Copies of this chain bind each other. A is one copy, B any other.
Amino acid sequence: MSMNSFGHLFRVTTWGESHGPALGATVDGCPPGVPVAEEDLQVWLDKRKPGQNKFTTQRREPDQVKILSGVFEGKSTGTPIQLMIENTDQRSKDYGDIVEKFRPGHADITYWQKYGIRDYRGGGRSSARETAARVAAGGVARNALQALVPGIQIKGYMTQIGPHKINRDNFDWDQIDQNPFWTPDAAAAADWAEYLDQLRKDGNSVGAVVEVVARGVPAGLGAPVYGKLDTDLAAAMMSINAVKGVEIGEGMDAAALTGVENSDEIFMGNDGKPVFSSNHAGGILGGISTGQDVVVRFAVKPTSSILTTRKTITKSGEPTEIITKGRHDPCVGIRAVPVGEAMMACVILDHLLLNRGQVGEELPGKIG
């Protein structure tokens, strides 16, 4: 227990259940003097908000964030920032069936065994609603990042849905915000719409891959050998509901490469900083950022709540069946995009703070 926090110096603790009075994040370690307004955070919550198109759940959750502390006259004071999101659309009756039955693929059975008590309403603590709190905290991190490293960019997008991957040749950064899948491949977006529509009608669901890139990250971030930048990113992404795999740069495909193929050769750039022939490393060497794009990818499993009958047992151990009705996302990967961005923002900020006095200014190790 006592495990609802992440981060070293920028430390986020989320709290709250899907059907309690509220949920939120206690953000401790934001540097002082950072402009923080509820409107800034709301942008990202709105990006994650359900019910925006037919590919996400039709639940209506305004997800309005309130700042209860840590901000004075529009700026952070260096004290904890409490972010609260009240739960408003709590149709508890939708969830009556899961009081006694364990939904396959959900945390119902493990929470029950571990704790001997669980808030079964809508998944309670294990609901993906918890990620709203992460997104709010990520908004604070984004503002702090902009203050420390102006121009830094963090962007997530889908690169695969079910068996369908994007065509990297079609990659267009400007397309990302133009389609409901946050994908940089416009052609893929059109195909995916059709594919997902059919799955939804079949009462089925599907997995996805989300890629998140941080551009403009200074070299030198990361604390070997267990607070490595990639270690912390792997933990951050794996902690998101439904994530089953995390990759840095080349990821699992690195296994298939030879040393010659995988080599990112080093050159001197015109601006006096090193440049690389490629980025198989995903911007991280030995756990420390190289100054290249930091590239993380994670796989989200298909939504476990499906309209197809599945076999399970009751709390009494009796065999039974379950259909998870209610309003569920056919592909939770879509709404995982802003969550992945939020986690990236928090981790990068955390390591920037760990490096204070060293990065953004002069690095101790000069080249040239």
Contacts and interface: CB of A to CB of B under 8 A. Distances in A.
A364 B104 contact: no
Contacts of A232: 235
Nearest to A353: B1
A24 B82 contact: yes
Contact of A255 (B75, B207, B312): B207
Interface string A272-314: 1010010011101111111000000001111111101011110
Contact of A368 (B72, B272, B317): B317
Given A106-B286, A209-B255, A248-B245, A304 B235 contact: no
Nearest to A160: B255
Contacts of A33: 115-117, 364
Contacts of A247: 244-245, 252, 299
A61 interface: no
Given A257-B207, A288-B111, A102 B266 contact: yes
Interface in A244-270: 244-268
A285 B221 CA distance: 32
B110 A288 contact: yes
A166 to B, nearest CB: 12
A149 interface: no
Interface residues of A, number: 162
A52 interface: no
Contact of A246 (B14, B126, B234): B234
Contacts of A357: 356-357, 361
Interface stretch (A90-98, A174-182, A183-191, A223-231): A223-231
B26 A13 contact: yes
B6 A315 contact: no
A150 interface: no
Contacts of A281: 105
A208 interface: yes
B238 A248 contact: yes
Contacts of A205: 258-259
Interface in A312-367: 312-313, 315-319, 333, 353-358, 361, 363-367
A125 interface: yes
A44 interface: no
Nearest to A67: B21
A28 interface: yes
A112 B367 contact: yes
